[in-house]
Amino acid sequence: MREVNGFFLFELGQLPLLTLLPRDVDLRPSAEFITEIRKHLREFSETNENREDLPDAVGVAIELVRLLTVVLEKNPFPSITMAEYSRAGYLVLTFRDRLHANLGKLYSEILEDKGGRSVKTLWLNPLKLIDTRIIPNLSDFVVFNIMEAAKCWVVDRPTATGFHMMRCVESVLRQYKKLITGKEFQRTSKKGRVYYEGFGTLIDELDGALKDLKDANASFGQLEFAIGILRPLSKLYRDPLSHPELKELNEEDAKLAFEQGLSAIARMVADCLDGGTHFKVPHTAGVKF
């Protein structure tokens, strides 16, 4: 898959379908599809970088937008005449040829699927990889960094993938630890300086809470499973990402960081949503992680 100044070429794969539209009939069943194609073409033609780098393709895109607008705005319903159909077919082929010719003058990079995940999913919506009930409970900070981690993985920046993923996990871990133990994850010195507990310290406190629950023969929900996922993340990624003299992450590290990070986040949030006596402070609806 290629991306050109924010415009994904897999969206262009839909263009040839315009040549399959039936002539002189009611196109309302296809109106949503035609409107979506027009939107992508308009975005492509209105991007300043594309106007500068891909002028020939932009010119044809503008003509296609005009033609599709005429088709969509007809009364009493959208329709395409034989002449318009022929024109659309010509413009689709011309757009393809001119775009390919322009792309040959640009630096481009082929993006490959990662870990069995499609580039489209990782770049546009990696949240699809998480249980749908978890997503509404994630903060904007966590969502943003999951998105960034996925994009870094796609463009072969494994250390950056780990960095963004660990930010997400630690943010959720702080809240999880607070709800499990009832204790804050930060403290303030006499001089007013705020100190935050480190990743390993947070897990150690969860370990202590788990031991107490087991000694009391009490229920501990998914706490043990969460710790089991968090420990390897702490050992393998937190230290290398915190200390510049240590090794850079590689492709396999990035895969583990991303997938185990998502798993850790989902496990902790799900445990909080399920609730249980192992929480000193029950999760309150509306509170984001």
∠ CA(255), CA(256), CA(262), 5° rounding?
95
Tens-digit pLDDT profile for the chain (289 aa)?
Answer: 344 444 444 455 677 777 888 899 999 999 998 998 899 889 888 988 888 888 898 999 999 999 999 999 999 999 999 999 999 999 989 998 888 887 777 666 677 888 888 888 998 899 999 999 999 999 999 999 999 999 999 999 998 998 899 999 999 999 999 999 999 888 887 888 888 888 888 999 999 999 999 999 999 999 999 999 998 888 766 555 555 555 678 898 899 899 999 999 999 999 999 999 999 999 988 888 9
SS3 218: coil
Q: How many other CB atoms are found less than 10 A from the CB of residue 213? A: 19
Question: What are the residues whose beta carbons fall under 8 Å from the beta carbon of 53, sequence distance 6 or more?
Answer: 4, 5, 102, 105, 106
Picking from 141, 60, 73, the residue whose alpha carbon sits closest to that of residue 101 is: 60
The three-class DSSP label of residue 187 is strand
- CA 263, 279, 187, 134 torsion-angle sign: positive
Instruction: Give the domain ranges of the chain.
Output: 3-103, 119-274
* CA distance to 36, 114, 150, per residue, from 265 (Å): 34, 20, 15
- Cα distances from 2 to residues 73, 115, 279, in angstroms, run 32, 19, 47
- Nearest CA to 204 out of 218, 183, 187, 219 is that of 183
What's the pLDDT at 188? 82
Q: What is the pTM of this model?
A: 0.67
At 239 the pLDDT is 55
- Asked if omega into 76 is within 30° of 0 (cis), the reply is yes
For residue 153, what is the enclosing H or E element? Answer: helix 140-154
